[in-house]
Amino acid sequence: MVFSSNIFIFLFLPIFLGVYYLTPREYRSIPILIGSYIFYAWWRVDFLALFAGVTLWNYIMYRRMSVSDNSARWMKVGVAGNLAALGFFKYFNFGVDSFNALLIQIGGSPISAMQIILPIGISFYIFQAISFLIDVHRKDAPHPKSFWDFAAFISLFPQLIAGPILRYKDVADQFQNRVHSVDKFSEGAYRFMLGFAQKVLIADSVAPLADNIFALSNPTFLESWLGALAYTIQLYFDFMGYSSMAIGLGLMMGFRFIENFNHPYISRSITEFWRRWHISLSSWLRDYLYIPLGGNRKGKSRTYINLFLTMLLGGAWHGANWTFVLWGAWHGALLAIERTLGLKEVNWPKVMMVPTLLAVIFGWVLFRSENITQALSFYEGMIGMNGYAISDLMQWQIKKEQLFFLVLGWGIVFLHPKFLEFRRQIEGQAAWKTIGYQKPFVSLATIALFIIAVVKLSAASYSPFLYFQF
C-alpha cells in the first residue's frame, strides 16, 4: 500500500485513525502494530513473516543485552543478524550477477541461482533496528516499556517504507506521553496534503519526461540535460513529498518526527548538501559508520578515507547496482576534496550553488541509470557528443504539462527559501505571527491542491515512490 492511493486515503487511513483514537491511550501501540502490519502486508503477505522475524530477533537481542554482563557481545550478534538479512535479500542477486560477469570475462560458464525478491522497506527498518541496539548498548537510549512499544517503533507505518529513519531515543518519550490535540492533528493533515500535492502534481507530472529521455540509447545535448533536470526535480519532490506525508501522518497520531529535508538544492557545497538532503540517513551514516571508523580523529588521510568509505557504503545501501556504488564514490570523493581544499563550510558565496548543483545533477544521472553503460551514454550526451538538438522521436513525446511542472518545480526550489527568509525578516509583524497552516487562505489553498491532486491520481493507475525500491 502507498500513501498516494485512493485506498489508503479513503479506506485504510480513516479506519486506522478511528480505531486508534477509540483505543485507550496506554494500549495504542497495539493498533499501531496491527495497522502497520496490514499496511505492509498489502504489498506481500509472505514478507510480513520476515518483517516480524526481524522485530522478534532484535527484541530477543535487546533482552539478552539487558540481562547479560557482556552487552557488547549480544549487540554485535544482533547487528550481525540484521546485516546478514539485509545482505542476503538486497545483495544476493547482485553478487551472483557480478560473479557471473567475471566468469564470462575469463571464459568460464555462469552459474545458475535463485532470484531473490527485495522486501520493500528492508533498508529502512534494518537501519532503525541497528541504531536501537547500538544506542541501548551505549546507554544512549531508554529501554522500551513493553514489547508492544518496541514492535510499534520498528513497524510505525508512516515512515516504515522510506523513512525518515527514526531512532528510539528520539521517540521513546512520545510512546509514553505524546500529546494529541486538534492543533497537532491539523498541522499533520496540512503536512500530509502538502506532501501529497508535491508528489502527485509535480513529481508524477515530470516523471514521464525523465523516463522517456533516460530510455533513449544516445540522447543529445538538449535531451540529456532536459532529462537530468527532470529527474532531479522528480526525485526531489517525490522523496520530499513522501517525507512530508510521513511527518504529517505522525503528527496525526501524536508523534513528531525529525525533518528530512531543508532545501538541499540551494547548498553551496556537497558537505552542506548532505546536511540538507535525507537528513535522517546522513546523520545515521555519520553516527553509526563515519564516527566508529574514526571520523576525523585519526589524521587527515584517515579522515578522507573515512569520508569516502562512508559515502561508498551509503551508495551501496541505496541499491544493489554498480551505479549506486559509483554514485556513493562520487559523493565521497567530492566530500574528501572539499575537506582538503577547505570548501566544506556553508558560508561560501552564493555563486558556489552553481558548481554544487551541477555536481549533484551529474551524480543523479548515475543514480537514475540502469547500468554504467547507460550512464556513460547519458554523460556523452550532456557534453554534446551525440548531437545537440532534440530528435524528432523525442519531440512528440514532450508534453506542455510536463514542461510547465518542470519549470514550476525549479521555481519552487529556488523561490521558496527566499520566501521563508522574507517571512523571517518580518515575522514580528502581526500578519505573520501564526503558523502557515493556521492561516485560512493557506489552509484553503492546500485543500484545493489536495483535491486537484486526488483527481489527478484517480485518473492514473499507480503512483509509486522512488525510494520504495531501496
Q: Which residues contact 185 (CB under 8 A, 6 or more apart)?
A: 251, 252
- Can you give the chain as a three-state secondary structure string? CCCCCHHHHHHHHHHHHHHHHHCCHHHCHHHHHHHHHHHHHCCCCHHHHHHHHHHHHHHHHHHHHHHCCCHHHHHHHHHHHHHHHHHHHHHHHHHHHHHHHHHHHCCCCCCCCCCCCCCCCHHHHHHHHHHHHHHHHCCCCCCCCCHHHHHHHHHCHHHHCCCCCCCHHHHHHHHHHCCCCHHHHHHHHHHHHHHHHHHHHHHHHHHHHHHHHHCCCCCCHHHHHHHHHHHHHHHHHHHHHHHHHHHHHHHHCCCCCCCCCCCHHHCCCHHHHHHHCCHHHHHHHHHHHHCCCCCCCCCHHHHHHHHHHHHHHHHHHHCCCHHHHHHHHHHHHHHHHHHHHCCCCCCCCHHHHHHHHHHHHHHHHHHHCCCHHHHHHHHHHHCCECECCCCHHHHCCCCHHHHHHHHHHHHHHHHHHHHHHHHHHCCCCHHHCCCHHHCHHHHHHHHHHHHHHHHHHHHCCCCCCHHHHC
Q: Specify whether the CB–CB gap between 180 and 254 falls below 8 A.
A: yes
> 263 catalytic, yes or no?
no
Type of residue found at 70: N
Q: Which of 137, 278, 318, 331 is catalytic?
A: 318
Q: How many CA atoms lie within 13 A of 257 on its CB side?
A: 29
- Which amino acid is residue 223, in one-letter code? E
Q: Do 195 and 171 form a contact (C-beta atoms < 8 A)? A: no
What Cα–Cα distance (Å) separates residue 134 from each residue in 51, 128, 225, 424? Answer: 20, 10, 43, 39
d(CA 375, CA 322): 11
Query: Rounded distance, CA 445 to CA 416, Å?
Result: 16
- Omega into 24 within 30° of 0, i.e. cis? no
Q: Which residues are catalytic?
A: 318
